[in-house]
Amino acid sequence: MFARYDKSMTKRILLLAAALPSLASAEPADTTAALRDAALGDEVAWDITEGLTTEIGQRLAGTAEEARARAWAVARLRALGFADPRIETFAMPVWVRGAETAEIVAPFPQRLVLAALGGSGATPPTGLTAELVRFDSLAALEAAPDAAVRGKIVYVTHAMTPTQDGSQYGVYGDVRRKAPAIASRKGAAAILIRSIGTDHHRNPHTGATNWGTGATPSPNGGGATPIPAAALALPDAEQLDRIVGRGRPVTMKLVLTPHLTPNGQSGNVIAEVPGRDPRLPIVVVGCHLDSWDLGTGAIDDAAGCGIVTAAAKRILDSPSRPLRTIRVVWFGAEEPGLLGGIAYRQRHGDEPHGVVAESDFGADRVWRLRTNFVASAAPVGEALARALLPLGIAYDREGKASGGSDLSVMGAAGSPSVDLDQDGIRYFDLHHTPDDTLDKIDPAQLRQNVAAWTATLSIVANAAAALGPVPAGTSE
Protein backbone atom coordinates (compact mmCIF):
# COMPACT_ATOMS: atom_id res chain seq x y z
CA MET A 1 0.00 0.00 0.00
CA PHE A 2 1.09 3.59 -0.61
CA ALA A 3 1.56 5.71 2.51
CA ARG A 4 -0.61 8.82 2.73
CA TYR A 5 -0.70 11.86 4.97
CA ASP A 6 -3.28 11.47 7.75
CA LYS A 7 -4.16 14.59 9.78
CA SER A 8 -6.03 12.53 12.39
CA MET A 9 -2.95 10.38 12.95
CA THR A 10 -0.80 13.50 13.42
CA LYS A 11 -3.29 14.86 15.94
CA ARG A 12 -3.18 11.60 17.93
CA ILE A 13 0.64 11.66 18.00
CA LEU A 14 0.66 15.25 19.30
CA LEU A 15 -1.90 14.39 21.98
CA LEU A 16 0.16 11.37 22.96
CA ALA A 17 3.33 13.43 23.31
CA ALA A 18 1.56 16.15 25.31
CA ALA A 19 0.05 13.69 27.75
CA LEU A 20 3.06 11.45 28.40
CA PRO A 21 3.78 12.91 31.87
CA SER A 22 0.35 11.71 33.04
CA LEU A 23 1.57 8.13 32.81
CA ALA A 24 4.39 8.71 35.26
CA SER A 25 2.73 6.70 38.03
CA ALA A 26 1.41 3.93 35.78
CA GLU A 27 2.57 0.34 36.30
CA PRO A 28 5.91 -0.14 34.48
CA ALA A 29 5.59 -1.94 31.16
CA ASP A 30 7.84 -4.80 32.26
CA THR A 31 5.70 -5.38 35.36
CA THR A 32 2.53 -5.49 33.23
CA ALA A 33 4.20 -7.86 30.79
CA ALA A 34 5.27 -10.18 33.61
CA LEU A 35 1.75 -10.24 35.05
CA ARG A 36 0.28 -10.83 31.58
CA ASP A 37 2.62 -13.68 30.74
CA ALA A 38 2.14 -15.38 34.11
CA ALA A 39 -1.63 -15.26 33.54
CA LEU A 40 -1.22 -17.54 30.52
CA GLY A 41 -0.86 -20.31 33.10
CA ASP A 42 -3.92 -19.25 35.11
CA GLU A 43 -6.20 -21.86 36.71
CA VAL A 44 -8.50 -19.58 38.72
CA ALA A 45 -10.80 -18.74 35.81
CA TRP A 46 -11.32 -22.41 35.01
CA ASP A 47 -11.92 -23.25 38.69
CA ILE A 48 -14.63 -20.58 38.96
CA THR A 49 -16.28 -21.56 35.67
CA GLU A 50 -16.20 -25.25 36.51
CA GLY A 51 -17.35 -24.72 40.08
CA LEU A 52 -20.26 -22.45 39.22
CA THR A 53 -21.58 -24.66 36.43
CA THR A 54 -21.07 -27.89 38.38
CA GLU A 55 -22.14 -26.90 41.88
CA ILE A 56 -24.98 -24.56 40.90
CA GLY A 57 -25.87 -25.29 37.27
CA GLN A 58 -28.72 -23.27 35.76
CA ARG A 59 -29.21 -19.85 37.36
CA LEU A 60 -32.44 -18.37 36.05
CA ALA A 61 -32.81 -14.76 37.22
CA GLY A 62 -34.78 -14.31 40.42
CA THR A 63 -35.00 -17.99 41.28
CA ALA A 64 -33.70 -19.93 44.27
CA GLU A 65 -30.88 -21.22 42.05
CA GLU A 66 -29.67 -17.69 41.35
CA ALA A 67 -29.83 -16.93 45.09
CA ARG A 68 -27.73 -20.02 45.78
CA ALA A 69 -25.25 -18.81 43.15
CA ARG A 70 -24.94 -15.45 44.93
CA ALA A 71 -24.07 -17.17 48.19
CA TRP A 72 -21.58 -19.38 46.32
CA ALA A 73 -20.00 -16.30 44.72
CA VAL A 74 -19.56 -14.48 48.05
CA ALA A 75 -17.88 -17.53 49.57
CA ARG A 76 -15.56 -17.93 46.56
CA LEU A 77 -14.59 -14.26 46.46
CA ARG A 78 -13.90 -14.26 50.20
CA ALA A 79 -11.74 -17.38 49.89
CA LEU A 80 -9.76 -15.71 47.10
CA GLY A 81 -8.96 -12.79 49.40
CA PHE A 82 -11.09 -10.00 47.95
CA ALA A 83 -12.20 -7.23 50.28
CA ASP A 84 -15.77 -6.95 51.53
CA PRO A 85 -17.64 -9.51 49.38
CA ARG A 86 -21.33 -8.61 49.64
CA ILE A 87 -24.73 -8.89 47.99
CA GLU A 88 -26.89 -5.94 46.97
CA THR A 89 -30.39 -7.23 46.33
CA PHE A 90 -33.16 -5.75 44.19
CA ALA A 91 -36.76 -6.71 43.43
CA MET A 92 -37.90 -8.12 40.10
CA PRO A 93 -40.68 -10.22 38.59
CA VAL A 94 -39.63 -13.83 38.00
CA TRP A 95 -40.56 -15.71 34.84
CA VAL A 96 -40.33 -19.53 34.84
CA ARG A 97 -40.97 -21.77 31.85
CA GLY A 98 -43.44 -24.64 31.95
CA ALA A 99 -44.42 -27.30 29.41
CA GLU A 100 -43.58 -26.47 25.79
CA THR A 101 -44.59 -28.50 22.75
CA ALA A 102 -45.46 -27.75 19.15
CA GLU A 103 -46.97 -29.87 16.42
CA ILE A 104 -48.21 -29.34 12.91
CA VAL A 105 -51.78 -30.56 12.72
CA ALA A 106 -52.15 -30.09 8.95
CA PRO A 107 -51.17 -30.54 6.18
CA PHE A 108 -48.24 -32.73 7.30
CA PRO A 109 -48.67 -33.75 10.96
CA GLN A 110 -45.39 -33.80 12.92
CA ARG A 111 -43.74 -32.47 16.08
CA LEU A 112 -41.36 -29.52 16.17
CA VAL A 113 -38.76 -28.55 18.78
CA LEU A 114 -39.05 -25.14 20.43
CA ALA A 115 -38.44 -23.19 23.65
CA ALA A 116 -40.52 -20.41 25.15
CA LEU A 117 -39.00 -16.95 25.10
CA GLY A 118 -38.42 -15.26 28.43
CA GLY A 119 -41.54 -13.29 29.27
CA SER A 120 -43.78 -15.44 27.06
CA GLY A 121 -47.45 -15.60 27.83
CA ALA A 122 -49.18 -18.96 28.26
CA THR A 123 -51.57 -20.99 26.19
CA PRO A 124 -54.47 -22.74 27.90
CA PRO A 125 -53.21 -25.87 29.68
CA THR A 126 -54.63 -28.02 26.88
CA GLY A 127 -52.97 -25.90 24.22
CA LEU A 128 -53.90 -23.54 21.41
CA THR A 129 -54.65 -24.56 17.82
CA ALA A 130 -54.71 -22.00 14.99
CA GLU A 131 -53.72 -21.31 11.43
CA LEU A 132 -50.13 -20.22 10.86
CA VAL A 133 -49.04 -17.13 8.91
CA ARG A 134 -45.36 -16.71 7.92
CA PHE A 135 -43.28 -13.52 7.54
CA ASP A 136 -39.74 -13.47 6.20
CA SER A 137 -38.60 -10.52 8.33
CA LEU A 138 -39.55 -8.22 11.19
CA ALA A 139 -40.26 -5.47 8.65
CA ALA A 140 -42.72 -7.71 6.81
CA LEU A 141 -44.62 -8.36 10.05
CA GLU A 142 -44.67 -4.65 10.86
CA ALA A 143 -46.10 -3.87 7.41
CA ALA A 144 -48.82 -6.54 7.54
CA PRO A 145 -52.43 -5.44 8.06
CA ASP A 146 -53.89 -6.50 11.39
CA ALA A 147 -56.46 -8.62 9.58
CA ALA A 148 -53.70 -10.85 8.17
CA VAL A 149 -52.51 -11.65 11.69
CA ARG A 150 -55.55 -11.55 13.96
CA GLY A 151 -56.30 -14.86 15.67
CA LYS A 152 -53.39 -16.67 13.97
CA ILE A 153 -50.06 -18.10 15.02
CA VAL A 154 -47.44 -15.77 13.55
CA TYR A 155 -44.10 -17.19 12.40
CA VAL A 156 -41.15 -14.86 11.67
CA THR A 157 -37.93 -16.08 10.11
CA HIS A 158 -34.63 -14.29 9.35
CA ALA A 159 -31.14 -14.86 7.93
CA MET A 160 -28.62 -14.42 10.76
CA THR A 161 -25.09 -15.69 9.98
CA PRO A 162 -21.91 -15.97 12.09
CA THR A 163 -19.59 -12.95 12.42
CA GLN A 164 -16.44 -12.46 14.45
CA ASP A 165 -17.79 -9.39 16.19
CA GLY A 166 -21.31 -10.76 16.72
CA SER A 167 -22.76 -7.65 15.11
CA GLN A 168 -25.69 -9.41 13.46
CA TYR A 169 -27.19 -10.08 16.88
CA GLY A 170 -28.14 -6.43 17.13
CA VAL A 171 -30.06 -6.55 13.84
CA TYR A 172 -31.59 -10.02 13.82
CA GLY A 173 -32.05 -10.09 17.59
CA ASP A 174 -34.91 -7.62 17.12
CA VAL A 175 -36.97 -10.53 15.76
CA ARG A 176 -36.94 -11.93 19.29
CA ARG A 177 -37.01 -8.66 21.18
CA LYS A 178 -39.71 -6.82 19.19
CA ALA A 179 -41.75 -9.20 17.01
CA PRO A 180 -43.84 -10.73 19.85
CA ALA A 181 -45.12 -7.30 20.99
CA ILE A 182 -45.88 -6.32 17.39
CA ALA A 183 -47.78 -9.56 16.80
CA SER A 184 -49.69 -9.08 20.05
CA ARG A 185 -50.77 -5.57 19.12
CA LYS A 186 -52.02 -6.87 15.76
CA GLY A 187 -54.16 -9.47 17.52
CA ALA A 188 -52.11 -12.63 16.97
CA ALA A 189 -52.94 -15.67 19.08
CA ALA A 190 -49.26 -16.66 19.45
CA ILE A 191 -45.88 -16.18 17.80
CA LEU A 192 -43.01 -18.41 16.76
CA ILE A 193 -39.61 -17.20 15.57
CA ARG A 194 -36.60 -18.84 14.02
CA SER A 195 -34.09 -19.03 16.89
CA ILE A 196 -31.63 -16.14 17.06
CA GLY A 197 -28.63 -18.36 16.47
CA THR A 198 -26.28 -19.82 13.90
CA ASP A 199 -26.06 -23.54 14.71
CA HIS A 200 -27.95 -26.38 13.05
CA HIS A 201 -28.55 -28.59 16.06
CA ARG A 202 -32.10 -29.27 17.25
CA ASN A 203 -31.46 -26.90 20.13
CA PRO A 204 -33.77 -23.91 20.35
CA HIS A 205 -32.32 -20.59 21.55
CA THR A 206 -34.28 -18.90 24.30
CA GLY A 207 -33.88 -15.26 25.38
CA ALA A 208 -35.98 -12.40 26.65
CA THR A 209 -38.61 -10.58 24.68
CA ASN A 210 -40.01 -7.15 25.52
CA TRP A 211 -43.70 -6.36 25.61
CA GLY A 212 -43.08 -2.63 25.77
CA THR A 213 -43.43 -2.43 29.55
CA GLY A 214 -39.78 -1.77 30.30
CA ALA A 215 -36.92 -4.18 30.76
CA THR A 216 -38.84 -6.85 32.64
CA PRO A 217 -41.63 -9.14 31.46
CA SER A 218 -44.97 -7.99 32.81
CA PRO A 219 -48.60 -8.67 31.86
CA ASN A 220 -49.60 -5.04 32.32
CA GLY A 221 -48.21 -1.56 32.70
CA GLY A 222 -49.09 -0.04 29.35
CA GLY A 223 -47.33 -2.38 26.92
CA ALA A 224 -48.54 -5.15 24.67
CA THR A 225 -50.41 -8.05 26.25
CA PRO A 226 -48.04 -11.05 26.46
CA ILE A 227 -49.02 -13.87 24.11
CA PRO A 228 -47.44 -17.32 23.82
CA ALA A 229 -44.02 -16.75 22.23
CA ALA A 230 -41.37 -19.32 21.40
CA ALA A 231 -38.27 -19.96 19.29
CA LEU A 232 -37.97 -22.94 16.96
CA ALA A 233 -34.69 -24.82 16.69
CA LEU A 234 -33.08 -23.84 13.39
CA PRO A 235 -33.63 -27.23 11.65
CA ASP A 236 -37.28 -27.10 12.72
CA ALA A 237 -37.65 -23.52 11.49
CA GLU A 238 -36.29 -24.58 8.12
CA GLN A 239 -38.64 -27.56 8.10
CA LEU A 240 -41.53 -25.19 8.73
CA ASP A 241 -40.30 -22.95 5.90
CA ARG A 242 -40.45 -25.90 3.52
CA ILE A 243 -43.90 -26.90 4.67
CA VAL A 244 -45.26 -23.37 4.25
CA GLY A 245 -43.57 -23.28 0.86
CA ARG A 246 -45.80 -26.11 -0.36
CA GLY A 247 -48.55 -23.51 -0.59
CA ARG A 248 -51.16 -25.25 1.54
CA PRO A 249 -52.73 -23.83 4.72
CA VAL A 250 -50.77 -24.81 7.84
CA THR A 251 -52.46 -25.43 11.19
CA MET A 252 -50.43 -25.80 14.40
CA LYS A 253 -51.02 -26.67 18.02
CA LEU A 254 -48.90 -25.07 20.74
CA VAL A 255 -48.66 -25.83 24.43
CA LEU A 256 -46.69 -23.24 26.42
CA THR A 257 -47.36 -22.94 30.15
CA PRO A 258 -44.86 -20.51 31.73
CA HIS A 259 -45.82 -18.45 34.74
CA LEU A 260 -44.81 -15.09 36.19
CA THR A 261 -44.28 -14.33 39.88
CA PRO A 262 -44.40 -10.57 40.39
CA ASN A 263 -42.49 -10.30 43.68
CA GLY A 264 -39.12 -11.95 43.19
CA GLN A 265 -35.59 -10.95 44.09
CA SER A 266 -32.20 -10.86 42.40
CA GLY A 267 -28.94 -9.19 43.40
CA ASN A 268 -25.42 -8.15 42.48
CA VAL A 269 -22.37 -9.66 44.14
CA ILE A 270 -19.61 -7.10 44.74
CA ALA A 271 -16.04 -7.30 46.07
CA GLU A 272 -12.92 -5.15 45.80
CA VAL A 273 -9.17 -4.92 45.46
CA PRO A 274 -8.45 -1.78 47.55
CA GLY A 275 -6.32 0.84 45.84
CA ARG A 276 -3.59 3.04 47.28
CA ASP A 277 -5.56 6.22 46.61
CA PRO A 278 -9.24 5.92 47.52
CA ARG A 279 -9.85 9.45 46.18
CA LEU A 280 -9.36 8.33 42.59
CA PRO A 281 -12.28 7.06 40.49
CA ILE A 282 -12.55 3.28 40.72
CA VAL A 283 -12.10 0.63 38.04
CA VAL A 284 -15.11 -1.68 37.71
CA VAL A 285 -14.94 -5.05 35.96
CA GLY A 286 -18.06 -7.15 35.59
CA CYS A 287 -19.75 -10.31 34.40
CA HIS A 288 -23.24 -11.66 35.00
CA LEU A 289 -24.10 -14.43 37.40
CA ASP A 290 -27.55 -15.40 36.10
CA SER A 291 -28.10 -17.67 33.10
CA TRP A 292 -30.92 -19.10 31.09
CA ASP A 293 -32.27 -22.43 32.20
CA LEU A 294 -31.62 -24.64 29.17
CA GLY A 295 -27.88 -25.17 29.68
CA THR A 296 -25.59 -24.44 32.62
CA GLY A 297 -24.53 -20.96 31.52
CA ALA A 298 -20.86 -21.77 30.93
CA ILE A 299 -20.16 -19.35 28.08
CA ASP A 300 -22.99 -17.03 29.15
CA ASP A 301 -21.60 -16.02 31.54
CA ALA A 302 -19.79 -18.20 34.09
CA ALA A 303 -16.65 -17.88 31.97
CA GLY A 304 -16.87 -14.09 32.12
CA CYS A 305 -17.00 -14.23 35.92
CA GLY A 306 -14.01 -16.54 35.92
CA ILE A 307 -12.04 -14.28 33.57
CA VAL A 308 -12.49 -10.93 35.30
CA THR A 309 -12.14 -12.40 38.79
CA ALA A 310 -8.96 -14.28 37.89
CA ALA A 311 -7.47 -11.11 36.41
CA ALA A 312 -8.39 -9.03 39.47
CA LYS A 313 -6.96 -11.77 41.70
CA ARG A 314 -3.61 -11.44 39.90
CA ILE A 315 -3.55 -7.73 40.63
CA LEU A 316 -4.58 -8.46 44.22
CA ASP A 317 -1.66 -10.88 44.62
CA SER A 318 0.92 -8.70 42.86
CA PRO A 319 3.74 -7.19 44.96
CA SER A 320 2.26 -3.68 45.01
CA ARG A 321 -1.31 -2.52 45.50
CA PRO A 322 -2.91 -0.83 42.48
CA LEU A 323 -3.27 2.94 42.50
CA ARG A 324 -7.04 2.75 41.99
CA THR A 325 -9.52 0.45 43.71
CA ILE A 326 -10.73 -2.36 41.46
CA ARG A 327 -14.34 -3.37 42.01
CA VAL A 328 -15.50 -6.78 40.75
CA VAL A 329 -19.25 -7.09 40.13
CA TRP A 330 -21.07 -10.32 39.33
CA PHE A 331 -24.35 -8.87 38.10
CA GLY A 332 -27.72 -10.50 38.71
CA ALA A 333 -30.61 -10.64 36.26
CA GLU A 334 -28.76 -9.55 33.13
CA GLU A 335 -30.76 -11.87 30.91
CA PRO A 336 -34.23 -10.38 31.53
CA GLY A 337 -32.99 -6.93 30.55
CA LEU A 338 -29.83 -5.67 32.33
CA LEU A 339 -31.67 -5.40 35.63
CA GLY A 340 -28.48 -5.83 37.65
CA GLY A 341 -26.75 -3.09 35.68
CA ILE A 342 -29.71 -0.76 36.16
CA ALA A 343 -29.79 -1.50 39.91
CA TYR A 344 -26.04 -0.88 40.13
CA ARG A 345 -26.35 2.50 38.45
CA GLN A 346 -29.21 3.49 40.75
CA ARG A 347 -27.10 2.67 43.79
CA HIS A 348 -23.61 3.65 42.62
CA GLY A 349 -24.13 5.99 39.68
CA ASP A 350 -23.02 9.05 41.65
CA GLU A 351 -19.66 7.48 42.52
CA PRO A 352 -16.76 8.41 40.23
CA HIS A 353 -15.89 5.56 37.89
CA GLY A 354 -12.49 5.68 36.24
CA VAL A 355 -13.12 2.74 33.87
CA VAL A 356 -15.90 0.21 33.37
CA ALA A 357 -15.48 -3.07 31.46
CA GLU A 358 -17.35 -6.37 31.29
CA SER A 359 -16.68 -9.86 29.94
CA ASP A 360 -19.90 -11.30 28.50
CA PHE A 361 -19.28 -12.86 25.11
CA GLY A 362 -18.08 -16.36 25.89
CA ALA A 363 -14.52 -17.56 26.40
CA ASP A 364 -12.95 -17.66 22.95
CA ARG A 365 -9.85 -15.55 22.40
CA VAL A 366 -9.85 -11.77 22.65
CA TRP A 367 -9.02 -10.31 19.22
CA ARG A 368 -9.80 -6.59 19.50
CA LEU A 369 -9.36 -3.74 21.97
CA ARG A 370 -11.60 -0.68 21.97
CA THR A 371 -11.61 2.20 24.42
CA ASN A 372 -13.69 5.28 25.17
CA PHE A 373 -11.43 7.75 26.99
CA VAL A 374 -11.02 11.51 26.90
CA ALA A 375 -8.47 12.63 24.30
CA SER A 376 -5.87 13.51 26.93
CA ALA A 377 -5.81 9.84 28.04
CA ALA A 378 -4.62 8.64 24.61
CA PRO A 379 -1.34 7.38 26.15
CA VAL A 380 -3.29 4.93 28.29
CA GLY A 381 -4.94 3.49 25.19
CA GLU A 382 -1.54 3.20 23.51
CA ALA A 383 -0.09 1.48 26.58
CA LEU A 384 -2.95 -1.01 26.42
CA ALA A 385 -2.30 -1.56 22.72
CA ARG A 386 1.38 -2.36 23.33
CA ALA A 387 0.62 -4.71 26.21
CA LEU A 388 -2.08 -6.62 24.33
CA LEU A 389 -0.41 -6.92 20.94
CA PRO A 390 1.70 -9.97 21.96
CA LEU A 391 -1.59 -11.77 22.68
CA GLY A 392 -2.79 -11.20 19.10
CA ILE A 393 -5.11 -8.34 20.05
CA ALA A 394 -5.40 -5.33 17.76
CA TYR A 395 -6.38 -1.83 18.89
CA ASP A 396 -9.34 -0.35 17.01
CA ARG A 397 -8.66 3.33 17.62
CA GLU A 398 -11.73 4.48 15.72
CA GLY A 399 -14.25 2.29 17.54
CA LYS A 400 -15.83 3.33 20.81
CA ALA A 401 -16.10 0.93 23.73
CA SER A 402 -19.46 0.43 25.45
CA GLY A 403 -18.28 -1.19 28.69
CA GLY A 404 -20.16 -4.42 28.03
CA SER A 405 -23.73 -5.51 28.70
CA ASP A 406 -24.59 -4.54 32.31
CA LEU A 407 -21.97 -1.80 32.45
CA SER A 408 -23.17 -0.25 29.21
CA VAL A 409 -25.60 1.79 31.34
CA MET A 410 -22.57 3.34 33.04
CA GLY A 411 -20.69 3.78 29.78
CA ALA A 412 -23.67 5.49 28.18
CA ALA A 413 -23.81 7.90 31.14
CA GLY A 414 -20.21 9.03 30.59
CA SER A 415 -18.00 6.55 32.43
CA PRO A 416 -14.79 5.78 30.47
CA SER A 417 -14.86 2.22 29.17
CA VAL A 418 -12.78 -0.59 27.70
CA ASP A 419 -13.99 -3.46 25.53
CA LEU A 420 -11.91 -6.62 25.09
CA ASP A 421 -13.83 -8.16 22.20
CA GLN A 422 -13.89 -11.95 22.01
CA ASP A 423 -14.13 -14.02 18.85
CA GLY A 424 -17.84 -14.56 18.21
CA ILE A 425 -17.76 -16.97 15.28
CA ARG A 426 -19.24 -19.85 17.29
CA TYR A 427 -20.83 -17.87 20.12
CA PHE A 428 -24.33 -17.88 18.64
CA ASP A 429 -24.13 -21.61 18.02
CA LEU A 430 -24.26 -21.99 21.80
CA HIS A 431 -25.85 -18.82 23.19
CA HIS A 432 -29.05 -19.42 25.22
CA THR A 433 -29.21 -23.11 24.23
CA PRO A 434 -28.96 -26.48 26.00
CA ASP A 435 -25.43 -26.64 24.51
CA ASP A 436 -24.14 -23.85 26.77
CA THR A 437 -22.16 -26.23 28.95
CA LEU A 438 -18.64 -26.48 30.36
CA ASP A 439 -17.26 -28.73 27.63
CA LYS A 440 -17.54 -25.81 25.18
CA ILE A 441 -14.86 -23.84 27.08
CA ASP A 442 -11.39 -24.05 25.54
CA PRO A 443 -8.95 -23.73 28.50
CA ALA A 444 -6.17 -22.22 26.38
CA GLN A 445 -8.44 -19.51 25.00
CA LEU A 446 -9.82 -18.90 28.49
CA ARG A 447 -6.27 -18.27 29.74
CA GLN A 448 -5.61 -15.84 26.87
CA ASN A 449 -8.64 -13.87 28.09
CA VAL A 450 -7.26 -13.79 31.63
CA ALA A 451 -3.91 -12.57 30.35
CA ALA A 452 -5.60 -9.79 28.36
CA TRP A 453 -7.70 -8.67 31.31
CA THR A 454 -4.72 -8.86 33.68
CA ALA A 455 -2.66 -6.57 31.46
CA THR A 456 -5.62 -4.21 31.08
CA LEU A 457 -6.19 -3.97 34.83
CA SER A 458 -2.49 -3.53 35.48
CA ILE A 459 -2.49 -0.45 33.25
CA VAL A 460 -5.82 1.24 33.94
CA ALA A 461 -5.78 0.64 37.70
CA ASN A 462 -2.34 2.25 37.90
CA ALA A 463 -2.95 5.18 35.55
CA ALA A 464 -2.90 8.54 37.31
CA ALA A 465 -4.34 10.22 34.23
CA ALA A 466 -8.04 11.08 34.24
CA LEU A 467 -9.66 8.82 31.64
CA GLY A 468 -13.00 10.62 31.68
CA PRO A 469 -15.76 11.47 32.03
CA VAL A 470 -16.57 11.12 28.36
CA PRO A 471 -19.60 12.75 26.71
CA ALA A 472 -22.73 10.79 27.58
CA GLY A 473 -24.03 8.63 24.77
CA THR A 474 -20.68 8.28 22.94
CA SER A 475 -20.21 4.55 23.61
CA GLU A 476 -21.24 1.97 21.02
Residue 221: per-residue pLDDT: 42
Buried b or exposed e, range 45-76, using 16+ CB within 10 angstroms: bbebbbebbeebbbbbbbbebbbebbebbbeb
Sequence-ordered list of residues with C-beta below 8 angstroms from that of 240, at least 6 positions apart, any chain: 104, 112, 132, 134, 155, 192, 232, 250
Q: Is the pLDDT of residue 222 over 90?
A: no
For residue 26, name the pLDDT band (cuts at 50, 70, 90): low
pLDDT band at 11 (very low <50, low <70, confident <90, very high): very low
DSSP at 299: I
Least confident of 27-36, 74-83, 87-96, 197-206: 27-36
Domains and CATH numbers, the chain: 20-94+263-460 (3.40.630.10), 98-257 (3.50.30.30)
Single-letter amino acid code for the residue at 248 = R
pLDDT surpasses 60 at 305: yes
Looking at residue 29, its pLDDT comes to 83
CA torsion, points 107, 113, 116, 117, in degrees to nearest 10?
-100
3-class state of residue 459 by DSSP:
helix
Which run of H or E residues covers position 260? strand 259-273
The pLDDT score that the predictor gives to residue 5 is 31
Lowest-confidence segment of 27-31, 52-56, 128-132, 243-247 by average pLDDT: 27-31
CB 366 within 8 A of CB 391: yes
Looking at the predicted structure, is the pLDDT value of residue 465 above 80?
A: yes
Separation in Å, CA 282 to CA 27, 94, 315, 421: 16, 32, 14, 22
The partner residues of 264 in beta bridges, in order of sequence, read 92
> pLDDT tens digit string along 370-402?
999 999 999 999 999 999 999 999 999 999 999
How confident is residue 8, by pLDDT bands cut at 50, 70 and 90? very low
Residue 283: what pLDDT? 98
Q: Give yes or no for residue 440 having a pLDDT over 80.
A: yes
Calculate mean pLDDT across residues 401-425: 97
Is the C-alpha dihedral spanning 359, 364, 365, 369 positive or negative?
Answer: negative
For residues 258 and 28, the model is more confident at 258
**Distance from the first to the final alpha carbon of the chain:** 30
Residue 110 has a CB neighbour count (10 Å cut-off) of: 12
Mean pLDDT of 136-150: 98
pLDDT grade, residue 19 (50/70/90)? Answer: very low
Exposed/middle/buried for residue 201 (C-beta within 10 Å: 0-12, 13-18, 19+): middle
Q: Give the separation between CA 53 and CA 55, rounded to whole angstroms.
A: 6
Q: Is the pTM of this model over 0.85?
A: yes
Is 80 exceeded by the pLDDT of residue 78? yes
